[in-house]
A and B are shown apart, each in its own frame.
Chain A
């Protein structure tokens, strides 16, 4: 069974940093592209970032470009999202999702990031 478990969310002040993790199981992690998708409170889904299997291709939404960094550790079956210079409008549930950039096959339950003073 495919499982994706996110962690690392929490309360952080504006301008602060946070690092999210997503541990995968039930499939060969290194064979699949991965993404981060977020949902702000009461809002819809927003794709955040993508990483290819070999880390050679990275994409970011304009809203996070230059502030967020996606990475992966295939040996540990984990996906990471380093978030710097956080703003109030980054407050959201962050989901990791398996799949190419145009389709999300499996999702985790998400981790809540709250940016507030």
Chain B
């Protein structure tokens, strides 16, 4: 089965830039869109990037997404880190050959 692998945790200081990777196990990650969700305890999850690199209205342009076919991975980059960015981030895609949703394992972002 298609799987998405994320680092368990990342950390960085306020004002810096952090990148969270999401690597596909097989096939081409570019075959289906990748979306990114932010989960904070006690709050509803929110979409920070959809369809690889699109930002929903209301999400600051400090958040960006990209796809790298050579490494079969997607990335979420957050620049100008703020304390409020501390959260768990999940990538998600879809295995269209088997009709099922795939989530990455999640990455805990700590703003030092």
- 8 further A-B pairs in the complex, CB-CB below 8 A; given A103-B51, A106-B47: A39-B39, A44-B104, A44-B106, A59-B99, A101-B99, A102-B101, A105-B56, A107-B37
- Give the shortest distance, in Å, between A109 (CB) and chain B (any CB): 4
Q: How many residues of A contact B (CB 8 A)?
A: 20
Chain B residues with Cβ below 8 Å from A104 are 35, 37, 45, 47, 92
- Give the shortest distance, in Å, between A51 (CB) and chain B (any CB): 14
Cβ of A24 within 8 Å of any chain B Cβ, yes or no, is no
How many A-B pairs have beta carbons closer than 8 Å: the answer is 56
Contact (A109, B44) CB under 8 Å given A47-B103, A103-B35: yes
Cβ of B2 within 8 Å of any chain A Cβ, yes or no, is no
Q: How many of chain B's residues touch chain A, expressed as a range? A: 20 to 34
Q: Could you list 19 A-B pairs, sorted by A, with CB under 8 Å?
A: A44-B104, A44-B105, A44-B106, A45-B39, A45-B90, A45-B103, A45-B106, A47-B101, A97-B45, A102-B33, A102-B96, A103-B94, A104-B92, A105-B56, A107-B44, A107-B46, A108-B44, A109-B44, A110-B44
